[in-house]
Amino acid sequence: MDLDRPARFVAPDLLGAVLTVDGVGIRVTEVEAYEGEADPASHAWRGMTPRNAVMFGKAGRLYVYLSYGIHSCVNIVCDVEGRASAVLLRAGEVVAGEEAVRVRRGRVPYARLASGPGNLGSALGLTATDSGLALDGVRATVVAGPAGHIMSGPRVGISRAADTPWRFWLVGEPSVSGYPRSARA
DNA sequence: CTTTTGATCGTCT
DNA sequence: GACGATCAAAAGC
C-alpha cells in the first residue's frame, strides 16, 4: 500500500484493509478523504496549527482529534511530507479483539461496534493523546485487504465543500454508517 | 418513522 | 466566546 499519494487516491485503496491497534483489528468499510490547503472542509485548510501538525508530516501515522468534546476520530495520514492529507476512517468491522472492544462499547449489535467515526475511535481505544502514533508495527499496523464493490459520494457532517464526492464505502457492508440517512444509492 | 436536543471541551477567532 | 469531520436518547407525528 502506497500512502505517499493524496488522500482522495489512497482512500478507496484503504477499503478492505485491516487496521490493528493494541490487539484490536478493524476491517475498514467506509472512509473519507481530506486534503490540506485546497480543501475547505479539511482541518489543515488554514495552514498548520498545533492540532493538525501531524497531517503535514510523513505518511503512515495516525491523526486523532477530539470531536464535539466527546468523540475521538481517527485518520490515516498520507501524501508526502509537507502536504497535509489524511483519510478519515468512518466505519469498520471488528475482526480481532472483540472482547476489548465490548468493554468500551458495551452491548451493541456486532455491526455497530465500529460504525461511525466516533464509535470506531472508541472501539480502538484511541484518544487525541495518541495522535501521531506510527503504523510501524509497535502498537499499530495496516494491512491491505480485498475490497468488494466500492461506491463514492459526498462527505457527511461538514458544511463546506459538502458536494465533493470524497466519501468511499463498501456496498452491502452492515457497518457502513452514512449517518444521517440521506444519500441512498 | 422523522426531527430535535443534550452532552461536553479543545481549538481557533 | 462560538463552533464543530458526532452519537444516542427523547420528543414529535
Q: What is the pLDDT of residues A166-185, one digit of tens each?
A: 999 999 999 998 755 444 33
Sorted by where each starts, the structural domains of chain A and their CATH numbers stand as 7-170 (3.10.300.10)
The bases of strand C with some atom under 7 A from any protein CB are 4-8
At residue A45, does pLDDT exceed 50? yes
Separation of CA A166 and C1' C9 in angstroms? 30
In chain A, DSSP finds a helix count (H) and a strand count (E) of 3, 8
* CA–C1' gap, A182 and B1, in angstroms: 14
Minimum-distance nucleotide, CA of A43 to C1': C5
User: pTM for the full model?
Assistant: 0.95
Task: Indicate if the alpha-carbon torsion angle A159, A165, A166, A168 is positive or negative.
Answer: positive
Nucleotide nearest to A41 (CA to C1'): C5
CA A165 – CA A148 distance, rounded (Å):
19
Q: Which residue is nearest to nucleotide B9 (CA to C1')?
A: A69
Q: What is the pLDDT of residues A52-67, one digit of tens each?
A: 999 999 999 999 999 9
Among the listed residues A77, A46, A52, the one whose alpha carbon sits nearest the alpha carbon of residue A65: A52
CA–CA gap between residue A72 and residue A129 (Å, rounded): 10
What mean pLDDT is reported for chain A?
95
